[in-house]
Amino acid sequence: MTGLSRRAFALGTAATLLGTTQITISSAQALPKIRVGSLTLPVFAPIIVNIMKAQKFDTKNGFEAEVQTYPSFSAYYAGLATGEIDTLIGGPTYFQKLRLEGVPLRIVATGATLADLVIISKDPAVKSLADLKGKQLAADMGSGQFQILSIYAKSKGIDLTKDMTLVNANFAVARAQLAAARVDAAMIIEPIATMMMKEDAGLKIIFNANDAWKEMAGVTGWELVYAMREDSIKKNANAPKQFVAALADVTKYLQTDPDGADKIAVETVKLPPGILKEAVHAKRWVFDAKPAWDPAEKKSIWDTFERAVAAGFHPKLPDDAIIYAP
């Protein structure tokens, strides 16, 4: 090949590549974007959206997920309240609070069941929540998970604030408190629970919120659901259904390929290998995204709102529009 021919070939190749790039960029730009809130912590929010991005479930369902990561829960929820992001996963009772405060949000999908909310103890005499009376429990008292625990405890005639000594601690600190034997038990979520039990075989689960909620309410309770801003939905009326479809793909992927999901969690949020897979197999890390407007899911979410009001966590129910309807 002559020098001219080489140059012509190189220019032609470059033009072809440039054309391909332009087509790719053009295609990506053609997709509407949904801004998704995430966290730097190894919890549901980043793991779900990382799987969605890695497996391209967003573009498959007609949008591009634009991920905004936050270092704390307060900043994370503030991102939704101020309109910095369009959607995120959070506690249903926390969304109830935000809606009552005027944040224009609508719940569009279910997400995580209560299966990952557990209480762990090393004391062989402690076998149930009732056995913690008179003992010390480390728990994040400002969390939606604590509200869920309080609602169930109340149904059993247990007042957490009076019947036991509560040590206010976020999940990481609660883990440390129990490891140091400064408390008798700790309220923990996954994947921390699985990591703790792998480190200390003497730790046992004495309470699982999923089982407790089903016993109390007769239905599946939701620890985390997805809410989307109303103004985002007005801009893109297809956004709720597209996003729920992508979440459904994540649900299926977690069920059919926990090894693949585990690898993504290792690479993105730096979970130790095998932790996510073990939590999934133990049925404690259960992600099950369904449309919030389905009658059964809407009833379940609304039941949680009613119980939060009855327990005194919120002054009243939100308006019906908090749950999105197509």
pLDDT per residue, tens digit, the chain (326 aa), is 434 344 433 333 333 333 444 444 444 458 999 999 999 988 899 999 999 999 999 999 999 999 999 999 899 999 999 999 999 999 999 999 999 999 999 999 999 999 999 999 999 999 999 999 999 999 999 888 999 999 999 999 999 999 999 999 999 999 999 999 999 999 999 999 999 999 999 999 999 999 999 999 998 899 999 999 999 999 999 999 999 999 999 999 999 999 999 999 999 999 999 999 999 999 999 999 999 999 999 999 999 999 999 999 999 999 999 999 99
**Helix H or strand E encompassing 121:** strand 118-121
CA separation for the pair 225, 91 (Å, rounded):
6
Phi/psi class of residue 91: alpha, beta or left (left: φ > 0; alpha: ψ in -120 to 50)?
Answer: beta
CA separation for the pair 260, 47 (Å, rounded):
12
Edge-to-edge strand ranges of the sheet holding 118-121: 165-168, 136-139, 185-188, 118-121, 204-208
| Structure-token match 């005027």, residue found | 102
CA separation for the pair 203, 111 (Å, rounded):
28
Question: Residue 18 corresponds to which amino acid?
Answer: L
DSSP 154: H
Question: Residue 14 corresponds to which amino acid?
Answer: A
Helix (H, G, I), strand (E, B) or coil at 198: helix
Helix (H, G, I), strand (E, B) or coil at 39: strand
Cα 324 to its chain centre, rounded Å, is 18
